[in-house]
Structure 1
Amino acid sequence: MNAVLIAVIVMVILSLCRLNVVLALFVGALVGGLTAGMGLNETIGAFTDGIGDGSEVALSYALLGGFAALISYSGITDYFIGKIINIIRVDSTVKTRTVTKLVIIVSLTLLACMSQNLIPVHIAFIPIIIPPLLSLFNELKMDRRMIAVILTFGLCFPYVLLPFGFGHIFQEIIKKGFDQAHYTIQFDDIWKAMIIPSLGFVVGLILGLIIYRKPRTYKTVSDEVFTAKVIKPYTVVVTIAAILGTFIIQMTTESMIFGALAGILIFFISGVFNWRTMDNELTTGIKIMAYIGVVMLTANGFAHVMTESGQVTTLVEDMVSLTGGSKPLGIIFMLIVGLVVTLGIGSSFATIPIIAALFIPFGDAMGLSSLAIISIIGTAGALGDAGSPASDSTLGPTAGLNMDGQHHHIWDTCVPTFLLFNIPLIIFGFIAAMVL
């Protein structure tokens, strides 16, 4: 059996057995490297080299987590959440609760989508918004698995379809893949080719809203009434300035690290809070996102071992040889390979360069059009991003929903998102490749 396939299977099984994701990734990489004949020292060396590739992103997320914690500490989110909770408790009618649920669903969907394109902060908004909402979710008995599905949809769907923000980066990587393979395509063709595959995310979201619509009871951490905080106008001004400063610096420098630092420094320089207290809040926020950073570093090590083993190419070649020239079977195999690779790596962005070099010439040999090949590569890259234990699209929602220890990363986030999004994605990706 192929070493990459074995490594991913080991990682997934260990994760499902509730072993820590970091350990599961390390063991999977070790098994994959040894199976590929790399040897212990070479495997560990490749793993260590790969870790450095994700250091910038890991540090960015840690700092954004700290910045998000300071915004939450300002009391703005607590103020509005407190108002809503008290209104529900005063007017706890079926109509009020239903309307509130709809507002939450629509608001979180739009907010998650905007985090990818309009205001590209990715998962940094989750520690700001979700923890204060947990009391409201508990009050309404909303199933957090539904919230996880909503957040993952918003973190994936926009970048797959829309060529803005993170979507521009994703589609630019696809374009570079074609350029390196000496195939000419237009950048504007990419989003057109992804219209049909992206419908898989829409179907998955609808199914998630239906499946997890029933009430689910969670333990209430505190029985006291959530009291709306009194916020000083100066605090509001400083918070808004910090948010704007972060966005402006991030866009100007194209660095999430310096963007987050700008927002943090505005809070500290403003003197709006006691420095010692702010430092504690900053540290707490960094801790929340730092774990995600550690997982991403480990995932980069895993990916580097798989790449250095040379088994990714072998995996694709072996599966392609089984098609026997069948176009439908070849398309299905390519999508499955994309799912396996992305599931292990945890990043669709990191998967594209690996599979593009292999899928483009194969698709051309099968007589597929450029749009069809684009749809396969884009779909294959997105497959697994929603559902991978190492993906920030699942780690982010878990980080927010598990603040009180009542939301499991694998069973409450990864399994629901994997089933609801990847199956429709395969179906719609297959349709797109066949008709384009």
Structure 2
Amino acid sequence: MLNAVLGSISLMLSLSLLRVNVVVSLLLSSLFAGVVGGLNIADTIDAFNSGIGSGGKTALSYALLGAFAATISKSGLPAMFASKVTKNLNNVVNASQTRKIKYSVLAFLLLAAFSSQNIVPIHIAFIPILVPPLLFMMTKMHIDRRLIACILTFGLVSPYMFLPVGFGAIFLNDILLANIEQSGMEVDGINAGVAMLIPALGMFVGLLVAVFYSYRQKREYDLEKLEKVEGIDEGNETPYCGRTVAAALFAIVLAFTIQITTDSMIYGGMAGYLIFLLTGTLKWQDSDDVFTQGMRMMAMIGFIMITAGGFAEVLRSTGDISSLVSASVNIMGDSKPIAALLMLLVGLFITIGIGSSFSTIPIIAAIYVPLALQLNFSPLAIVALVGTAAALGDAGSPASDSTLGPTAGLNIDGQHDHIWDSVVPTFIHYNLPLIAFGWIAAMVL
């Protein structure tokens, strides 16, 4: 009999790859999961409706950040970047200088993404604000946006895998070790960050491949589309002024500060938006149009997140997540190599469907930990197995904020497809190395 989780996630991925809208793919897959999982249509819809609320907060956060980002474009900040970049690029005389500028931009974005998980724990909130003003520079230099998606996703995922600070402290200590202990294994003296170093190294290898091989070539984008969205007029000598740029920078700092202190992207985005109104950078008569434009820009991301919450709840309601994990146990036998590989693959499927590695751990730990103990895996190997099985799929899931976040910043002009330019590249470059390095960790630790 077909497992509802395997069937529905396979259907969702297939439809998405065929360019069926992700929201439609998730809705159809939810109904399929319910029917295959033994739920009637009414129960499936009830489960879906109960799950969509989980994505409401994040969707509203994205809508307000979108409005804030649209307002930033009216402040002249993107135009300032465009003006300075154009002048600097005109002064570039050789390929070596161009490479230095390119890798400086990539390093800056990687540092920003990395810092968003620990130093300034704002997670994906920085992307719709920081990335759009840099798109003109990246387009002028013909940087492949798929590379930017890979860099941002690496910075969003890898830090929580091995650094026990910020979101990493939550993932490694509050969720991973806590659930492993609840599942029957003693965790005193175990450093989860050390156990996850080898899997994290796999992600780093994937990043190197993306930067220096897969997307090292130039890629052309329509500059006119971007200029139209960001209000950039290259023929205008003064597309910005010091007062509006200063207001924009202050609004960005305030938005981030409020989010950190209140743990709310919603109020952070709203505060930044109000600064533009109060300083006169955004005229009151234009505020409604700009706000609507920004919310429209992020609407698809929000709808995907809301729909994904309903899809995940239907998967849970079928009960087939547990049966999938249990069925894999029958195949493993007493073989540690086969057991480790199947644990990782099942974790990959679950996380791709749910869209959250943090939510996957409680589902798989209860079965994986007793099984791994029975097969005589070491404590560090068990931590690496459960942690990697959960992290797998965070990069490469259509419903994960680790792919939705980069798309939100890179697709403001409609030239970055969520599935083929964010999901597929990150899946290939991170999930495949994670499986390999997670399996190695389980074997050698």
Do the two structures share a fold, i.e. TM-score over 0.5? yes
What are the equivalent positions in structure 2 for 1:171-320 lying under 5 Å apart? 171=172, 172-186=174-188, 189-209=191-211, 210-221=213-224, 225=234, 231-320=240-329
State the partner residue of 1:421: 430
Q: Which residue of 2 aligns with 1:329?
A: 338
Is residue 244–residue 281 contact of structure 2 (8 Å, CA) maintained in 1?
yes
Deviates further, 395-404 or 198-207: 395-404
Provide the rounded CA distance (Å) in 2 between the counterparts of 1:173 and 1:226: 54
CA separation of 1:54 and 1:187: change in aligned 2, threshold 3 A: farther
Partner of 2:57: 56
* CA deviation map 1:282-329 (0-9, x unaligned): 332222233212111111111111111110111011111101111111
Give the AA of the match of 1:381.
A
Match of 1:132 in 2: 133
CA apart distance, 1:214 = 1.3
Whole-Å Cα distance in 2 between the matches of residues 90 and 122 of structure 1? 36
Give the drift of 1:159.
Answer: 1.9
Name the CA shift for 1:269/1:368 in 2 (closer, same or farther; >3 Å): same
Query: 87-96 or 146-155: which moved more?
Result: 87-96
Equivalent-residue separation in structure 2 for 1:187 and 1:396 (angstroms): 35
Task: Check conservation: 2:81, 2:137, Cα contact below 8 A.
Answer: no
CA drift of 1:92 comes to 5.0
In structure 1, what is the Cα distance between the partners aligned to 2:178 and 2:296? 35
CA distance in 1, matches of 2:282, 2:270: 17
Tell me the amino acid that sits aligned with residue 47 of structure 1. F
Q: Summarize deviations over 1:331-351 as a string: whole Å, max 9, x none.
A: 111100010011111221222
Q: 1:293 to 1:240 in 2, by over 3 A?
A: same
| CA 232–205 in structure 1, closer or farther in 2 if over 3 Å, else same | same
Which SS does the other structure have where 1:106 is aligned? helix
Q: In structure 2, how many angstroms separate the alpha carbons of the residues matched to 1:410 and 1:244?
A: 32
* Compared CA separation, residues 74 and 175, structure 1 to 2 (3 A): farther
* Closer/same/farther in 2, CA of residues 310 and 401 from structure 1, 3 Å limit: same
Displacement after TM superposition at 1:179 (Å):
4.4
Give the conservation status (yes or no) of the 8 Å contact 2:74–2:282: no
State the Cα distance separating 1:39 from its structure 2 match: 1.1
Aligned to 1:74: 75
- Calculate the TM-score normalised by the size of structure 2: 0.91
String of CA shifts for 1:69-102, please: whole Å, max 9, x gaps: 3334322343133201222134353233222211
1:277-426 superposed matches below 5 A: 277-426=286-435
Aligned equivalents of 2:373, 2:86: Cα separation in 1: 57
Counterpart-to-counterpart distance in 1, 2:74 and 2:303: 25
Distance in 1 (alpha carbons) for counterparts of 2:237 and 2:335: 63
Moved more, 242-251 or 365-374: 242-251
Partner in structure 1 of residue 123 of structure 2: 122
Q: Deviations over 1:182-212 (max 9, x none)?
A: 5442597221211111011111110001111
Unpaired runs of 5+ residues, structure 2, are 228-232
SS of structure 1 residue aligned to 2:224: coil
AA in 1 matched with 2:65: L
**CA spacing shift, 1:302–1:269, aligned 2, 3 Å:** same
Distance 2:438 2:11 in 1: 27
Kindly report which structure 2 residues correspond to 1:28-107, keeping only aligned pairs within 5 A, or say none: 28-107=29-108
User: Structure 1 residues 235 and 100 mapped into 2: Cα distance closer, same or farther (>3 Å)?
Assistant: same
Is contact 1:249-1:258 (8 Å) kept? Answer: yes
CA distance in 2, matches of 1:403, 1:328: 45
Q: Is the 8 A contact 2:81 2:134 kept in 1?
A: no
CA contact (8 A) 1:65 1:127 kept: yes
Cα distance, 1:28 vs structure 2: 1.0
**Normalized against structure 1, the TM-score is what?**
0.93
Distance 1:296 1:250 in 2: 20
Give the whole-Å Cα distance in 2 for the aligned partners of 1:51 and 1:187: 39
Contact conserved, 1:62 with 1:293, CA < 8 A, in 2? yes
Q: Which moved more, 1:76-85 or 1:220-229?
A: 220-229
CA RMSD of aligned residues (A): 2.2
> How many residues matched?
436
Percent of matched pairs sharing the same residue: 48
Give the SS at the match of 2:412.
coil
Q: Deviations over 1:339-375 (max 9, x none)?
A: 0011111221222221222222222222223322221
Structure 2: distance between partners of 1:247 and 1:255:
10
Residue 331 of structure 1 aligns with an amino acid whose one-letter code is A
The answer to whether the 8 Å contact 1:348/1:383 transfers is yes
DSSP 3-state at the match of 1:268 = helix
Q: Which runs of 4+ in 1 moved over 6 A?
A: none
Hey, what's the Cα distance between the residues in 2 that align with 1:262 and 1:342? 34
Work out the CA distance in 1 between the residues paired with 2:78 and 2:364: 42
CA separation of 1:199 and 1:243: change in aligned 2, threshold 3 A: same
Q: Is the deviation greater in 88-97 or in 416-425?
A: 88-97
Q: 102-111 or 404-413, which moves further after superposition?
A: 404-413
SS of equivalent to 2:334: coil
Name the counterpart of 1:433: 442
